[in-house]
Homo-oligomer: A and B are copies of this chain.
């Protein structure tokens, strides 16, 4: 059976890096961290999330780990590796938490060309609307899917280790997807929903309507409270697939708009019956997993 090394390095102590650190420390791993912010290290140490950490990226430190988890924004991950990949020792297993894969994978692979390391990409489908380590919470993994995205050259043994990492975090389900499958799925289920929430909130001045907000508006706009740095980067990195999914949605909106304009009640009812059928199936699927 595969096992993770006892000593783990996490690069990046934001919400996700902190949540990983919290979960893995509780499981008995010796977690160390690199962060650009001294304060985050002090907080993480004080709360027992990490054994120790540093703001300096030094070869002596980095090369002492055989498992490194990158919890960085997509645009930061590649540049970190460009600068520092020479410090990683041979045979090291690398992984990430990034919410987009295709663009990241090609960027990362370039920086590691010729090196004897194995980067097994992963995406914990978990998060919160807040940002920063002070909101770190290993509870976010409880209902989360942990997606492993194997790529050419990954050793099966290492893929299994990253699946084990998902289990150790406490994720509800571990799945494998190709980079394309992952990015299309995430464009539809996650990125499109965030675009919709932002658009709905920004569509008009709604402050005076706060008094009348019901459950539906509340639910649809919850994720309009959004980390603009991270999501802008995620949207741009997955641009083509996100635009495709937005077009599918916009076509459907146009169709519904025409049906309302033409008072085509038959089509409206058909569309609502279909959405009801699909949503019921989703609810059933979720029940099964409980």
> Chain A: residues with CB nearer than 8 A to chain B?
125-126, 144-145, 147, 173, 175, 185, 188-190, 192-204, 206-207, 209-214, 216-229, 231-232, 235-236, 239, 242-243, 245-246, 248-253, 256-257, 260-261, 263, 265, 268-269, 271-276, 278-283, 285-286
Assuming A188-B209, A203-B251, is B219 touching A222 (CB within 8 A)? yes
Please determine whether A286 and B235 come into contact, CB atoms closer than 8 angstroms. Answer: no
Instruction: List 12 interface pairs A-B (beta carbons < 8 Å), by A numbering.
Output: A189-B216, A189-B217, A193-B200, A195-B253, A198-B256, A204-B248, A210-B281, A210-B282, A210-B286, A219-B220, A224-B275, A236-B265
A145: shortest Cβ distance to chain B, in Å? 5
| A145 x B214 contact (CB < 8 A) | yes
Q: Once the chains are docked, how many angstroms separate the CA of A226 from the CA of B273?
A: 8
Bound form: Cα–Cα A274–B224 in Å: 9
Q: A216-B193, A243-B257 are in contact. Are A188 and B210 (CB under 8 A)?
A: no
So how many copies of this chain end up in the complex?
A: 2
Cα of A216 to Cα of B225 in the assembled complex, Å: 12
Expressed in whole angstroms, the Cα–Cα distance for A214 and B190 within the complex equals: 8
The listed residue (B207, B217, B261) touching A281 by CB distance below 8 A is B207
With both beta carbons as reference points, the residue of chain B lying nearest to A246 in the complex is identified as: B257
Contact B232 A265 (CB under 8 A): yes
Q: Report chain B residues within 8 Å CB of A188.
A: 203-204, 206, 209
Whether B278 lies near A202 (C-beta < 8 A) is yes
Smallest CB separation, A113 vs chain B (Å): 26
Determine which of B193, B257, B278 lies in contact with A207 in the assembled complex, contact meaning CB atoms within 8 Å.
B278
Asked if B189 and A276 sit within 8 Å, CB to CB, the answer is: no
